[in-house]
Amino acid sequence: MSGKRELKINTKFAQKYDKYRQKEELQKRKNNGRDSDSSGSSSDDSEVELDPTVERDFYRILSLLKKKDPKIYEKDAKFYSESDTSHSDEKPSTSKKAAVKPMFLKDYERAVILEKEG
């Protein structure tokens, strides 16, 4: 074949495909929680609501770490007071209520069989 053939691109298809890929990427970001602006008020399992004093202490320590303050490297340095740690051990504050285990059909059937004894 002596003649050269040029590669032709279907521009309409390319535009539709690009738009499809953009929508797909946007959906992935929404599902991963990266795009929190459009997701509204969804709550994650990993969200934990801290006591304001604990949160304040955390940010204070974080700033010391960023500044590389020599105080953080002391052996006897205490960053949280004992009352805060004992309080957090008693009842951890979370933004989600206790997780309820869903009852599946097989669980319901098992409960009915056990309740009616056969």
Q: What pLDDT, in 10s, does the model give residues 6-25?
A: 888 899 999 999 999 999 99
Q: What is the pLDDT of residue 12?
A: 93
Higher pLDDT: 37 or 112? It is 112
Write the burial class of residue 84 (CB in 10 Å: 0-12 exposed, 13-18 middle, 19+ buried): middle
**Report field, pTM of the whole predicted structure over 0.85:** no
- List the domain boundaries for the chain: 50-78
pLDDT exceeds cutoff 60 at 5: yes
d(CA 69, CA 77): 12
pLDDT exceeds cutoff 60 at 86: no
